[in-house]
Structure 1
Amino acid sequence: MSTLGKNIRNLRLKNCLSQAALADLINIPSQSKISAWESDKSIPNLLKAQRLAQVFGVNLDFLVQV
């Protein structure tokens, strides 16, 4: 079963990004948020989700598709 966290992780790895590099690209202070999102412990707010979709070159619907 796909989750938002798994989608973020898969897209990050597909784009050869570390959690720290992704955090820099979406302007968050540390990779701890990325880790929490990928483990489904929390979810990004709408603005961060939109930025993630832009970074990954996908639409928001694809990113949140579960």
Structure 2
Amino acid sequence: MDRANQQSVAPGAEGTIYSGGAMHDVTETIGGRLRRLRTDARLSASSVAQRIRMSQTYLCEVERDEHMPGLTMAAELAKLFGVSLDYIAGLRTTRTTHT
């Protein structure tokens, strides 16, 4: 990996990742971000799980950070919510997608 793409946490800056010169708040977990996207869209866990062909139990476990979503699941959620995978992972702070 080249130096520009390396990520590290600066001493005394817990909760912030420095990546390629940009700072990103990482206090929100992936599960928390997914739950917020779902509730902002006013969707139930059941309806989201059905749309992405995943069990509601597993989706809720992901939202509680008991499991990390796999790439396929994360991609389906990004598509459903109209955001990028970078946004779901917390690497971007804006919800817009690039087409």
**Percent of aligned positions that are identical:** 35
Q: TM-score, normalised to structure 1's length?
A: 0.93
2:64 corresponds to: 39
List gaps (5 residues or longer) in structure 1: none
Give structure 1 regions of 4+ aligned residues with deviation exceeding 4 angstroms.
Answer: none
The alpha-carbon deviation at position 41 of structure 1 amounts to 0.3
For residues 5 and 61 of structure 1, what CA distance do their matches in structure 2 show? 14
For residues 69 and 86 of structure 2, what CA distance do their matches in structure 1 show? 14
1:25 corresponds to: 51
Paired residue secondary structure (1:42): coil
Q: TM-score, normalised to structure 2's length?
A: 0.63
Deviations along 1:7-44, one digit per CA (max 9) or x if unpaired, are: 0000000111111000011011x210111001100011
List gaps (5 residues or longer) in structure 2: 1-26, 92-99
Task: State the structure with more CA Rg.
Answer: 2
1:58 corresponds to: 83
Where relative contact order (Cα < 8 A, 6+ residues apart) is larger, the structure is 1
Q: Kindly indicate which of the two structures has a greater share of residues assigned to strand.
A: 2
Cα RMSD, aligned residues only? 1.0
